[in-house]
Structure 1
Amino acid sequence: MRKSTATAQKTEVAETAPATVPAPELRKNGPTNAVIVKPVASAIQILRYLTQTGTPERATDIARHLKINPSTCFNILRTLVAEDVVDFDPLAKTYSAGIGLARLVEQLVTQGQKLQLAAPLMHDLAAEFGVTVTLWRRLGTDRIVLVCSESSPTDLHIGMPAGQRLPILMGASGRLFAAKLDFTEEQMRAEFARLRWVRPMSFEAYQREVNRARRRGWASDDGYFATGVRAIAAPVCDRAGNIVFTVSTVMIRGDRADEQVDALGEAVRELGQRLESVLL
């Protein structure tokens, strides 16, 4: 549906209620000071309602069913039409889930399918070396998020819950990102000062490990991020050389000789290169 169709409708007075409300109890895994942005929450309610009903609905009926202020509901619907995730029928004056929403779902499913293809490769490495293999994705400019993990079927493994988030410079993966970021020394020192390590670590030692990661293509965190845990990570880069994912192995600290650690590091680096053709 053309965007001009929706914008031709009469604009009504927007709701005067606050745009955000504190809701720490609604974010069990998030910050305690989290807020809910009401228009965003209402937009998601509308999209969910339209996909569940499967039939075109008038704005007044949607507002009444979802208990949303009618003028706010109308303005949200108009925005969703403009973003091509909701369709508007000017004759019937009804709204329905749009093709743009289907495309978003299709992209999400495609990413899930890619992760399914990556899982056997991660599982093979986990089984071969007796480690837990994790996959992290860059999230914005300052965070990474754990996407999935594969554990050794026979050896003791370390549980890593999906959805865990870390500062982008933290851990073994952080050394990889630090080697790519175009920071001055002053900027890097400032970012490093915000990190909280379980073992004391100087900025100079961190920089040496960043430089080592740059040379060999994989990085290690020997118990600085988590007590008793050693992690080895390698990048998964797009064609432009940007790190999109990192693949990491975690194991009990001190149970492997240096040459075994080096062999695992090379294996993780090779896995990262193989995952580039699967994930990107």
Structure 2
Amino acid sequence: MDSTDVDAPNDNNKAASVVTVKPVVNAVRILRHLSQVGSPERSVDIARQLSINPSTCFNILRTLVVEDVVDFNPMSKRYSAGAGLARLVEQLVTQGQRVQLAKPLLQNLAAQQRVTVTLWRRVGPDRIVIVSSAASPADVRIDMAEGQRLPMLMGASGRLFATQVNLDDPDIQANFERIRWARPLSFTAYREEVRLAAERGWAMDDGHFSIGILAVAAPVYSASGSIDFTVSAVMFRGQRDPEGIEELGAALIEFCAEVATVLS
């Protein structure tokens, strides 16, 4: 399956019209500089080397100190990369490593169930992305590319993430209306499918995401009870009868409880 056929509209236009925020750019430049030099520096020296207005540089540094990603020594009046920055990087690396550890589990599930299995993660307030994918070894299979991004509400996984947002929020409803469904459905029908997903513990998208494709997904809960990941089984419509879909949903719930020990 070509991911460009199912992604949200206007992504290319958004990428082409990205507006940079100068204070954010300068903050990143300062963090990169402090990480590279490896020794504490004064605000005026940092400002001079990076060609940043001294007052602006000082204010950015003070903010980064408050956010615990830069350390300040009041005796020497010098700044250095903080422990908070190291912890942030460590968390990102660890998450990537954990996703890699989950890959063999996804491959085993794909082979056992003869479906394509995808691991989705929520990124930002309104998008989800495939962070890992394993195709069935069957001759005819569906390929889902890692890195594919979708609106958060879309697909079987979207219905699970939707259980943790307020569907009465006008912004959520507006996001739903902007989605390009292959087989359109009303917001009322969507809400009922979200309610059903919350009740039984797994969700289904029957051809709305892509014509001819059926997906069943279950949530991977974090220790706090939030849904950070979902696991989705993707197959052709008609590949399983209703009883087989129910069995797959139950299998995914069990699998997600197992994979949560790797991802959390």
TM superposition score normalised by structure 2? 0.80
| Alpha carbons 2:167, 2:173 under 8 Å: kept | no
Q: Quote the residue 1:260 is aligned against.
A: 244
Once the 2 structures are TM-superposed, how far is the Cα of residue 61 of structure 1 from its aligned partner? Answer: 3.1
Q: Deviations over 1:214-259 (max 9, x none)?
A: 3332111122112332221111123454322211122333444444
- Return the letter of the residue paired with 2:144: G
- The equivalent position to 1:70 in structure 2, one of 54, 71, 75, is 54
Q: Quote the residue 1:35 is aligned against.
A: 19
Structure 2: how far apart are the matches of 1:188 and 1:84? 33
Q: Quote the residue 1:158 is aligned against.
A: 143
- The equivalent position to 1:214 in structure 2, one of 198, 215, 232, is 198
Q: 1:118 to 1:170 in 2, by over 3 A?
A: same
- The equivalent position to 1:55 in structure 2, one of 24, 32, 39, is 39
Q: Quote the residue 1:136 is aligned against.
A: 120
SS in 2 for 1:123: helix
Once the 2 structures are TM-superposed, how far is the Cα of residue 113 of structure 1 from its aligned partner? Answer: 3.0
| Alpha carbons 2:166, 2:172 under 8 Å: kept | no
Q: Quote the residue 2:80 is aligned against.
A: 96
| Alpha carbons 1:168, 1:177 under 8 Å: kept | yes
Structure 1: how far apart are the matches of 2:130 and 2:161? 15
Q: 1:273 to 1:65 in 2, by over 3 A?
A: same
- Return the letter of the residue paired with 1:100: G
Once the 2 structures are TM-superposed, how far is the Cα of residue 98 of structure 1 from its aligned partner? Answer: 1.5
Once the 2 structures are TM-superposed, how far is the Cα of residue 141 of structure 1 from its aligned partner? Answer: 4.2
Q: Quote the residue 1:83 is aligned against.
A: 67
1:121 and 2:137 aligned: no
Q: Deviations over 1:63-84 (max 9, x none)?
A: 2332322322222122222322
Structure 2: how far apart are the matches of 1:51 and 1:197? 45
Please show how residues 209-248 of structure 1 align to structure 2 within 5 Å: 209-248=193-232
Q: Relative to structure 2, which stretch is displaced further, 189-198 or 260-269?
A: 189-198
| Alpha carbons 2:167, 2:191 under 8 Å: kept | no
Q: 1:78 to 1:207 in 2, by over 3 A?
A: closer
Q: Relative to structure 2, which stretch is displaced further, 257-266 or 44-53?
A: 257-266
Q: Relative to structure 2, which stretch is displaced further, 204-213 or 185-194?
A: 185-194
Q: 1:28 to 1:250 in 2, by over 3 A?
A: same
Q: Quote the residue 1:193 is aligned against.
A: 177
Once the 2 structures are TM-superposed, how far is the Cα of residue 186 of structure 1 from its aligned partner? Answer: 8.3
SS in 1 for 2:41: coil
Q: 1:33 to 1:185 in 2, by over 3 A?
A: closer
- Return the letter of the residue paired with 1:161: E
Structure 2: how far apart are the matches of 1:256 and 1:75? 60
SS in 1 for 2:215: strand
Q: 1:60 to 1:219 in 2, by over 3 A?
A: same
Structure 2: how far apart are the matches of 1:100 and 1:190? 37
- Return the letter of the residue paired with 2:41: E
Higher RCO structure, 1 or 2 (CA under 8 Å, sep 6+): 2
Q: 1:279 to 1:57 in 2, by over 3 A?
A: same
1:148 and 2:132 aligned: yes
Once the 2 structures are TM-superposed, how far is the Cα of residue 187 of structure 1 from its aligned partner? Answer: 8.4
Structure 2: how far apart are the matches of 1:270 and 1:29? 41
Structure 2: how far apart are the matches of 1:214 and 1:148? 24
* Identical pairs, percent: 58
- Return the letter of the residue paired with 1:34: V
| Alpha carbons 2:118, 2:144 under 8 Å: kept | no
| Bigger Rg, which one | 1
1:44 and 2:40 aligned: no
Q: 1:115 to 1:83 in 2, by over 3 A?
A: same
- Return the letter of the residue paired with 1:53: V
Q: Quote the residue 2:6 is aligned against.
A: none
CA RMSD after TM alignment: 3.0
